[in-house]
Chain A
Amino acid sequence: MRIVVCLKRVPDTESVIRLTPDGTTIERGDLNYIINPYDEYALEAALQLKEAEGGEVVLLCAGEAEADSTLRKGLAMGADEAVLLQVPQELRDPWSTARLLADWLRAHPADLILAGKQGVDYDHGAVPGMLAELLGLPSATAICALERVADGVRVEREVEAGRERIRLPLPCVLSADKGLNEPRYASLKGIMMAKKKPLEVLESQATAEAEAGRLALPPARPAGRVIGEGAQAAGELLRLLKEEARVL
């Protein structure tokens, strides 16, 4: 089975995000970058499928030149090869990203396409579904369980009423939620081997189509207030919630 996993390079979730003075983008200088956490669940699922039935795992990333280090981390976890669709500037528009990825995938068809349910940077959660529609494939979003069945896969996803169980034929597109699995750490051997694995860089002139817009920090909350200590403050808290906040 040939599995393509879409990876994205994103700032660490513990980062404090600052804006450039003109408010068009974020200050990127001192940020620490990681593999998008949801993409790690997608990659782990791909590696488990490969271990169970053989095949290959290809990493696919649309990003700037620096994303090659993110792909090396994915190769160190166990992927076989990686492709970077290198764009001059970060694509902040999922529709532009999805079309770029779809162009490559049409020329290099996969049995299964996996991705994280959303990038923890721009939070659109749109690329996997768009990709599926562009490729004419079935899809399931934010899956938390995955099982291989005779002619396809069976997955589960959290919905408001509980969990949906969905059956899909292959090929299909699946996006991963936390809880799908526990991503492995790269071993020392994996890190050494990753340096020799193929990483193809294809330059693209794709740019974001949607307007980037203006960024702003959300309004600050009023400074916090400590109303008391210990169990004896419980009564005062309930009084404030009823009479001041009026939420009870």
Chain B
Amino acid sequence: MNIVCLIEQTGGLERGSAREALGLARRLADAAGGQVTGLVLGSLRDPATLGAWGADRVVELPALDGPGSSDAWSAGLADALDPLAPDLILLSASATGRELGPRLAARLGTGLVAECTELAWQDGQWLATRPIFAGKVLVTAPVNTKPALVSLRAKVFAVQEGGPAARVEQASLAGREMKAVVEEILAAAGGKLDLSEADIIVSGGRGVGGPEGFAPLEELAAKLGAAVGASRAAVDAGWRPHSQQVGQTGRVVNPTLYIACGISGAIQHLAGMKNSRYIVAINKDPEAPIFKLADYGIVGDLFEVVPALSRALS
């Protein structure tokens, strides 16, 4: 059984989501008997250390260190995958994975299991579970293509550490025309933490009242090392950018702790955050639906409760 994980990297360091994929791959390879190869989109500063996270072998693709191009990369990756004869290819459901996964799926003629949250080898086939309707429903289906191509939702699969150093190889790719080319990456302002990567999210809704009402939420988030999210009501009112929207037409998140401030709990919002491990709700209205699923609810004015939390954390 050959399992290949596509390893995204930034500045020569593998992304956390790549470690999560390696952790899952290691457990599956140990259960089904097989080996794990990390196929790097570019090269790493210290590729052998991927062994610690579960890789037996690392194959670097230095040709992909340059500017990104989804058309050229999907073709190049298909070429690089061919000699590895994978039974299963794992990638991250990250911005890059969402761009490359579908193209690669069509290139390989396999179809794609996107945003998987559970994957098992059972009775000689892969069984994958993924959320649909933004998590209102889960679907579990066998994956019968070879290779099976599966993208993994972030922060779902556990990393594991402690494996021996991996063998390292490099593969070259034929030069290709790049049609779509990434010209530049405009960095997020102030090193903003991405919602899908945050352990803690402080989120605000209609009850925040306006853009300036987010200031106490920002302060609490800074104290907790948290990202700031928003409900659709707050985004549609123009108080926050759409990239911060949590819900069915925004991000689906699963942080360790989700603090909902002035959010009543519309169905489309709950769909985006109810898989958080712990949910805190702060709302003036004791009848707000959010209290039905909050592990810890406080009935009160967020403009009193949130600053009190920040003070208590100082």
Contacts and interface: CB of A to CB of B under 8 A. Distances in A.
Contacts of A140: 70, 99, 180
Contacts of A154: 183
A123 B188 contact: no
B111 interface: yes
Contacts of A158: 95, 243
Given A210-B141, A217-B138, A238-B312, A162 B185 contact: yes
A218 B112 contact: no
B187 A126 contact: no
B123 interface: no
Contacts of A227: 296-298
Nearest to A95: B111
Interface in B205-242: 224, 235, 241-242
Given A98-B106, A123-B131, A138-B70, A224 B297 contact: yes
B268 interface: yes
A72 interface: no
B294 interface: yes
Interface residues of A, number: 88
Interface in A193-248: 209-218, 221-235, 237-238, 240-241, 245, 247-248
Contact of A226 (B95, B245, B298): B298
B292 A224 contact: yes
Given A126-B114, A214-B139, A172 B179 contact: yes
B196 interface: yes
A166 B69 CA distance: 9
Contacts of B142: 211, 213
Nearest to B200: A247
A123 B133 contact: yes
A120 B131 CA distance: 11
A221 B102 contact: no
B186 interface: yes
A8 interface: no
Contact of B105 (A95, A164, A248): A95
Per DSSP, are chain B's interface residues mostly helix, strand or loop, or mixed? mixed
A157 interface: yes
Interface in B267-293: 267-268, 271, 274-275, 277-281, 286, 290-293
A218 B131 contact: yes
A126 B112 contact: yes
Interface in A151-182: 154, 156-169, 172, 177-179
A37 B134 CA distance: 13
B103 A179 contact: no
The 10 closest A-B pairs by CB, nearest first: A213-B141, A129-B102, A138-B179, A179-B242, A133-B106, A138-B180, A95-B111, A234-B308, A159-B95, A231-B308
17 contacts: A98-B106, A123-B132, A126-B102, A130-B102, A140-B99, A159-B185, A160-B197, A163-B185, A165-B183, A178-B250, A179-B241, A210-B144, A215-B132, A218-B138, A224-B295, A226-B297, A227-B298
Interface of B: 10, 15, 68-71, 74, 94-96, 98-107, 110-112, 114-115, 130-144, 179-188, 194, 196-197, 200, 224, 235, 241-243, 245, 247-250, 256-257, 266-268, 271, 274-275, 277-281, 286, 290-301, 304-305, 307-309, 311-313
